[in-house]
Amino acid sequence: MKTWSIGAVSIAVLAVVVAALYAPLALTIAVGIVLSLVFGFGWPHYLRIPARKTLGTVISLTGAGACLAAGLSRGPDYLIGVPILLALGVGAVFLVQLVRGTGQSHRLESTLGAAGGVVLAALGPGWIAAQRFSGGSSLVLITGVSAAVALGVGLIRWPDRVIAPLGIVLAALAGPLAALLFSDVRIVPAAICGAAVAAVLVSFRRLGTLGGEPRNTAGGMAMGIAPVAALGTLVYFIDKLLIS
């Protein structure tokens, strides 16, 4: 899978996530679980680490469990169960390494990479929590528009030193514009939201550049889902701190 196609996957995943947040809660949770499974089983392939099936299962179960926790827990702290699942997931990664035995190849890379995948899988359900917390779609639209702009800029084949500031500036401008058109959110919080979202996305673009092209489709899909998942909890806490 080509590097530019990963950005296209991210845009498609973002559209699916935003659309799912308008659907009934059960369908929203189902979409989150499916994306968690795809990400979980593809992430070890992207990192090219050993024990891919076992570690992929750990990452997938963490993400699926976090989706259920964010969707079914009582408010206002909709992510209260996620840290427990995150701790269990990271512990399971270390347990897998112990079972593999001493002297296995790429042990450190496998542990750190899989633990990072567990963290990303646990961050994704923040989208569900944000929508449940706000009870509306204004922040989702602002975030979606800002993220789409940043991801679109990331498709341009320019150096990262140009794309990074350009993406952040344009997303910071797109946030207030979306707020004026679709909601009553004030301009400053919308600009902060847009800039924060873009900063995360351009960081993943740099990561993708350093990591090179994925060897297979599963790895490319996981890398395409990763930046959208990373935005989940960020959106939730921005909503709690700046908007609501």
Q: How many domains does the chain have?
A: 1
Nearest to 127 by CA among 183, 175, 164, 82: 82
Q: Which amino acid is present at 11?
A: I
1-15, 58-72, 162-176: segment of lowest average pLDDT = 1-15
Please, which residues have CB within 8 angstroms of residue 112's CB and are 6 or more apart in sequence? none
Residue 122: CA count within 13 A, CB half-sphere: 20
pLDDT of residue 109: 83
Residue 114 vs residues 16, 170, 204: alpha-carbon distances, Å: 25, 33, 17
Q: Provide mean pLDDT across the span 39-60.
A: 93
* Per-residue pLDDT, 100: 76
- The pLDDT score that the predictor gives to residue 102 is 62
- DSSP result, 83-150: HHHHHHHHHHHHHHHHHH-TT-TTHHHHHHHHHHHHHHHHHTTHHHHHHHHHSSSHHHHHHHHHHHHH
pLDDT in tens, 92-131: 999 998 887 666 667 888 899 999 999 999 999 999 998 8
Burial of 168 (0-12, 13-18, 19+ CB in 10 A): buried
Closest CA to 239 of 78, 47, 23, 114: 78
In this predicted model, which residue has the larger pLDDT, 137 or 54? Answer: 54
Average pLDDT over every residue of 16-35: 94
Q: Name the 3-class secondary structure at 155.
A: coil
Which pLDDT tens digit goes with each residue over 197-239? Answer: 999 999 998 888 776 677 789 999 999 999 999 999 998 988 8
**Average pLDDT in the chain:** 89
In contact, 167 and 201? CB cutoff 8 Å: yes
Say which residue, 214 or 61, is predicted with more confidence: 61
Residue 56 predicted with pLDDT over 90 = yes
pLDDT at 20: 92
Q: For residue range 158-199, what is the model confidence (pLDDT) as tens digits?
A: 888 899 999 999 999 999 999 888 877 788 888 989 999 999
Task: Find the domain containing 95 and state its range.
Answer: 3-243
Q: Report d(CA 54, CA 96) in Å as an integer.
A: 8
pLDDT at 139: 79
Burial of 99 (0-12, 13-18, 19+ CB in 10 A): exposed
